[in-house]
Structure 1
Amino acid sequence: MSVSMFGPDFPFAFDDWVRHPDGLGTLPEEAHGLEVGVVGAGLAGMVAAYELMDLGLRPVVYEPGQIGGRLRTHRFGGDGPVAEMGGMRFPSSSTTFFHYAERLGLANRPFPNPLTPAAGSTVVDIGGETFYGRTLADLPPEFAEISRAWDAALEEIGFTELQDAIRERDASRLKKLWDELVPVWDGRTFYDFLASSEAFRRLPFRSREIFGLVGFGTGGWDSDFPNSMLEILRVVLTDCDTDQRLVVGGVDQVPRRLWTLPVSPHSPWPTGTTLATLHAGAPRPGVSALARAEDGRRFAVTDRWGTVRHHDAVVATCQTWLLSTKIDTEEALFSQDLWMALDRTRYMQSSKTFVMVDRPFWKDVDPTTGRDVLSMTLTDRLTRGTYLFDNGPDAPGVICLSYSWMSDALKMLPYDVDRRVELCLGALAKIYPDVDVRRHVIGEPVTVSWEDEPDFLGAFKGALPGHYRYNHRMYRHFVQDDLPPAERGIFLAGDDVSFTPAWAEGAVQTALNAVWGVLRHLGGTTSAANPGPGDAFAELGPVDLGD
């Protein structure tokens, strides 16, 4: 079997659950049509809303902006080539995410990551030196030595055995191996892992510097150096950093098409029912307040215009900080331990700047060198990562001039889009002094800084050492049998609740956790032949380190 995002913290086969012919479960007839508030129309919100509707419930989706959340696609000229402002590369191991993308009829193709055939060629520019290659073998031997050191360092903590258990979906073996690593590595950073490994201790500091700036797979790793090593180990174990795909035509089509996808034949709703028809075409306005209703059972959800609606359950998919900063959330809905976890969530900054160009001129060959005139570029300069998107030889292309995180993203934060473009073009001119990129630019540029977006406050979670217990509190919240009644019926979802933040698969899996939670809360059951995540939680749930 191939590697998928099967665990490692909770090795439950979400992809099998959603594909099973018995469906996700059934509700008693008296529960059909009960309303469930869904806060946020990002990927988690739309997956949860669609599956809840398919069960016979009536989701009420609240969204302050546009459907898609951080799956935000900009189309130049309104319907032209796309720029993915948020999520843009999706590992093949994201099998549950691709279940929905394929059901919606969406095509995908390889993402042009460095040193992959999809990129064509790659330039690594570091310390004023520039290296060109199509594969790792084309770069100086130092790079291959660092790549081997990375592989060897991972083997020091049992990488192959862990990944084999994921590949074979051997839940008991995976849990045993992973649960032993959690207490060892929860308190240690990614950088500590590198610096203390036998493989990297043999190499000079420059090797760690190059690894941080260039990395292997998707690019540089240094913005993740302060993060818990568990965070990084999950990424590489589940192949999130390899064989990545892009969604042709824009990834926002996944949540947008879920909005208009008719219910399945087994749904209690009439044939042709969609989320759009249940909402008269548009989500409700964004949420300003969440509280327990006066009857003590339902929830009172207040939208930005002051309209109050009552729902029998709530799924909150917004980034967790918004429950403290933008939404007036009744404190008694969550325990103080859970509030601590929600507020301690740490988000990473991220910035992107895109331009549309007249054609994929980067494929022109320099007659002197025989090389592509412009390449996918990794650098220690301001741009950090530059990606090239080809839509055909006679069609406009798109350049992501800069994709950066953390301190590199903050360098862009004060500036408008024109200044950002100028800074990026200036940096690229030092790497490609004979290439006039700006003469190919057409249309209007576009940029984003996710930390400056009031409905997001950051790009994605980056767990620090010691944050495992916080993640455990958030993740396990959907299993509510042991909670006091005052805390039941509201469920958390989204990639920041998952153990795999920044990946669409984490958003989908936590959305499905919430669906199971709502199903159980409203008296429903799963099929004995297709038990859900909550049914398996006692056996497979993440290891509890205690408080």
Structure 2
Amino acid sequence: MVGPDFPFPYDTFREHPAGIGAVPAAAHGTEVAVIGAGLSGVVAAYELLRMGLRPVVYEAEQIGGRMRSAAFDGHPGTVAELGAMRFPRSSTTLYGYLRETGLRTSPFPNPLSPATPETVIDLKGATVRGRTLDELPAVFRRVARAWAATLEDRAGLSALRDAIRARDPQAIAALWHPLVRRYDDTTFYRFLVDSPHLRSFADRELFGQVGFGTGGWDTDFSNSILEVLRVVATAADEEHRGIDGGAQQLPLRLWSSAPAGTAHWPAGTSLAALHPGGLPRPAATGIRRTHPHRITITDADGAIATYPAVVHTAPVWLLLNTIRTDESLFDPLRWSAIERTHYMGSSKVFVLVDRPFWRDVDPATGRPVMGMTLTDRMPRGTYLLDGPLAGAGAPGDGPAAICLSYTWTDDSLKLVPLGAAERMDLMLDSLSAIYPDVDIRSHVIASPLTISWEVERNFMGAFRANLPGHYRYQERLFTHFMQDGFADGHRGVFLAGDDISWTAGWAEGAVQTALNAVWGVMHHLGGACAAANPGPGDRFAELAPVRLPDVT
């Protein structure tokens, strides 16, 4: 996931033997506030600690943010991934942290994935099954070819992917910047309608409901096509893996582990060790400028502390409501970008079952009795998880987990008024129409777990998704770590996290923006990267995103 907007090699930068930078010895031990202990916040704090600074982390809920792995009541060690659950192999910087923390991964059972024993597609009351695309009816292959041809004809996907794989910034810019100029004001759906390969409404409808790779695409139809082109160009929708035992382990391990090669601090110093009781401070409730060059934070307990630099990794909408924010901290252009951030809602419903019964073979058909399911009924997507991804032993062992429903936007809003048990019953009723001979309910052994991210007070959505015309806003947010040209009153607070990333919804983007913010703090405090390993700010002029004019 290098590029295409800012093709900096974050993975090799982070793993370079010269390290990612240093601050002057006089700055060692300096406190730097980090707001939010999701993946981006913990990564930023972890790397600031490695530089010899003292991160002070504020968190409103729990370490992990939208990397939230829950255990079912009465079954410790089981896993329901309420937030992030699948990670493409192209997330190379993220996988570097997984290796560093000793976490293992397993193939994620996406539609038609080799890890999926069976994929079942139920649309308009008709059901088809297959292990591969070739086993599905011909219409699915035709629509898949139409999508691939559309990407090639209208976006030059093959050449762009080749340039990204080669890490050739000049070639990437030559291919991507014209696409930004051409398509910034175009919806995903308009992109499809204008394709000669997808002129048929029936084909577009099938593509929207099923998609290829991770599932249906229709919930993105109103978003900017640039959001989708980034996903396919960086292979974010391919070769997904899950983290054995739960994704939340990654931020938790980074919190409790001591970084190698830490400056200033004794060997073995971790983020947990620097925080009383081993826990972050309570939620930040206020951020204001205190002169001449300080930022003061008030937390939910009423404690007040002042810092030379702050990294804000929580959803940016919190700066508009739950965190009283000094308006002077950001210029009007950044404020407008924050205000216009658009979030995707999302809901999940999980149940724990006694065993992965879906692997049982139907003697009449010779096929598994149940499969990963895509449907136009209420569940939309049903995922079957066993083995390490469910917190069990080897695949085939029990207990196992079923994500009964994974929905987005309008489909998610349909569930908001319902409790967990009501949601479970609704999904089981829908699935019984697809699998009339399978009694899923008889296998359920724990109360269901559910979430709707849009009604979570400290999130208000699953992730940011730009609408047409939002490129300029995203460019302002992503480049916020470059502050040399800012007025003094706008310097010292660094935005990071999923909202700031070009590839929102993927953990790699959260990690990359964390490293940008770390570079920004280091530079702000008088530090620098080694000449042999220039950082994102050092190469910014060479790699900067295209800047679209406001008046054309």
TM-score strictly above 0.5: yes
Q: Shift in Å at residue 393 of structure 1?
A: 3.0
Show the counterpart of 1:493.
496
After superposition, the Cα gap between the structure-2 partners of 1:38 and 1:78, relative to the gap in structure 1 and judged at 3 Å, is farther
Structure 1 distance, partners of 2:358, 2:317, is 41
Aligned partner letter, 1:160: S
1:387 to 2:383 alignment:
yes
Query: Which secondary structure state, in structure 1, belongs to the residue aligned with residue 446 of structure 2?
Result: strand
Show the counterpart of 1:178.
176
Aligned partner letter, 2:482: V
Q: Is the 8 A contact 2:404 2:424 kept in 1?
A: yes
Aligned partner letter, 1:28: P
Match of 1:423 among 414, 421, 426: 426
Q: Deviations over 1:41-83 (max 9, x none)?
A: 0000000000001001000000010000000001223523201
Structure 2 distance, partners of 1:140, 1:321, is 45
1:19 to 2:15 alignment:
yes
Structure 2 distance, partners of 1:146, 1:158, is 18
Match of 2:144 among 131, 140, 147: 147
Q: Is the 8 A contact 2:258 2:267 kept in 1?
A: yes
Q: Shift in Å at residue 266 of structure 1?
A: 4.5
Q: Deviations over 1:109-134 (max 9, x none)?
A: 11000011111100000011000110
Aligned partner letter, 2:530: S
Structure 1 distance, partners of 2:261, 2:421, is 51
Q: Deviations over 1:504-530 (max 9, x none)?
A: 000000000000000000000110000
Aligned partner letter, 2:283: G
Q: Is the 8 A contact 1:227 1:464 kept in 2?
A: yes
Structure 1 distance, partners of 2:180, 2:62, is 38
Show the counterpart of 2:50.
54
1:85 to 2:82 alignment:
yes
Match of 1:63 among 34, 40, 59: 59
Show the counterpart of 2:474.
471
Q: Shift in Å at residue 265 of structure 1?
A: 2.7
Show the counterpart of 1:268.
264
Structure 2 distance, partners of 1:264, 1:375, is 44
Aligned partner letter, 2:412: A
Q: Deviations over 1:232-272 (max 9, x none)?
A: 00000000011001000101011000111113235221101
Structure 2 distance, partners of 1:126, 1:354, is 22
Residue correspondence of structure 1 range 380-529 to structure 2 within 5 A? 380-391=376-387, 392-529=395-532
Structure 1 distance, partners of 2:396, 2:345, is 35
Q: Deviations over 1:482-518 (max 9, x none)?
A: 0000000100000110110000000000000000000
Structure 1 distance, partners of 2:476, 2:325, is 18
Aligned partner letter, 2:232: V
Q: Deviations over 1:452-474 (max 9, x none)?
A: 10000010011000000000000
Structure 1 distance, partners of 2:217, 2:339, is 26
Aligned partner letter, 1:396: P
After superposition, the Cα gap between the structure-2 partners of 1:234 and 1:394, relative to the gap in structure 1 and judged at 3 Å, is closer
Match of 1:544 among 537, 542, 547: 547
Structure 2 distance, partners of 1:381, 1:80, is 31
Q: Shift in Å at residue 26 of structure 1?
A: 1.2
Aligned partner letter, 1:164: D
Query: Which secondary structure state, in structure 1, belongs to the residue aligned with residue 505 of structure 2?
Result: coil
Q: Shift in Å at residue 305 of structure 1?
A: 1.5
Structure 1 distance, partners of 2:84, 2:336, is 28
Query: Which secondary structure state, in structure 2, belongs to the residue aligned with residue 412 of structure 1?
Result: coil
Show the counterpart of 1:166.
164
Q: Shift in Å at residue 546 of structure 1?
A: 2.3
Match of 2:342 among 335, 343, 346: 346
Show the counterpart of 2:131.
134
Match of 2:194 among 186, 196, 200: 196
Residue correspondence of structure 1 range 349-364 to structure 2 within 5 A? 349-364=345-360
After superposition, the Cα gap between the structure-2 partners of 1:21 and 1:121, relative to the gap in structure 1 and judged at 3 Å, is same
Structure 2 distance, partners of 1:417, 1:92, is 33
Show the counterpart of 1:302.
298
Query: Which secondary structure state, in structure 2, belongs to the residue aligned with residue 496 of structure 1?
Result: helix
Structure 2 distance, partners of 1:51, 1:393, is 39
Query: Which secondary structure state, in structure 2, belongs to the residue aligned with residue 321 of structure 1?
Result: helix
Aligned partner letter, 2:110: N
Show the counterpart of 2:118.
121
Q: Is the 8 A contact 1:152 1:199 kept in 2?
A: yes
Range with bigger deviation, 376-385 or 24-33: 24-33
Query: Which secondary structure state, in structure 1, belongs to the residue aligned with residue 32 of structure 2?
Result: strand
Aligned partner letter, 1:477: H
Q: Is the 8 A contact 2:49 2:262 kept in 1?
A: no
Aligned partner letter, 2:166: E
Q: Deviations over 1:260-313 (max 9, x none)?
A: 1113235221101100010021100000000112x3211110001111011110
Q: Shift in Å at residue 98 of structure 1?
A: 0.6
Query: Which secondary structure state, in structure 2, belongs to the residue aligned with residue 59 of structure 1?
Result: strand
Aligned partner letter, 1:136: L
Aligned partner letter, 2:121: V
Q: Is the 8 A contact 1:263 1:269 kept in 2?
A: no
Structure 2 distance, partners of 1:163, 1:481, is 33
Structure 1 distance, partners of 2:397, 2:92, is 34
Structure 2 distance, partners of 1:470, 1:44, is 20
Q: Deviations over 1:23-47 (max 9, x none)?
A: 0111111100111100000000000
Range with bigger deviation, 389-398 or 454-463: 389-398
Q: Is the 8 A contact 2:380 2:405 kept in 1?
A: yes
Alignment RMSD, CA only? 0.8
Aligned partner letter, 2:453: W
Show the counterpart of 1:321.
317
Query: Which secondary structure state, in structure 2, belongs to the residue aligned with residue 219 of structure 1?
Result: coil
1:533 to 2:507 alignment:
no
Q: Shift in Å at residue 399 of structure 1?
A: 0.2
Q: Is the 8 A contact 2:386 2:397 kept in 1?
A: no
Q: Is the 8 A contact 2:80 2:350 kept in 1?
A: yes
Q: Is the 8 A contact 1:91 1:242 kept in 2?
A: yes
Aligned partner letter, 2:84: G
Aligned partner letter, 1:438: R
Query: Which secondary structure state, in structure 2, belongs to the residue aligned with residue 285 of structure 1?
Result: coil
Q: How many residues align?
A: 540
Q: Is the 8 A contact 2:50 2:261 kept in 1?
A: no
Query: Which secondary structure state, in structure 1, belongs to the residue aligned with residue 246 of structure 2?
Result: coil
Q: Is the 8 A contact 2:46 2:271 kept in 1?
A: yes
Q: Is the 8 A contact 1:48 1:511 kept in 2?
A: yes
Query: Which secondary structure state, in structure 2, belongs to the residue aligned with residue 378 of structure 1?
Result: strand
Aligned partner letter, 1:292: R
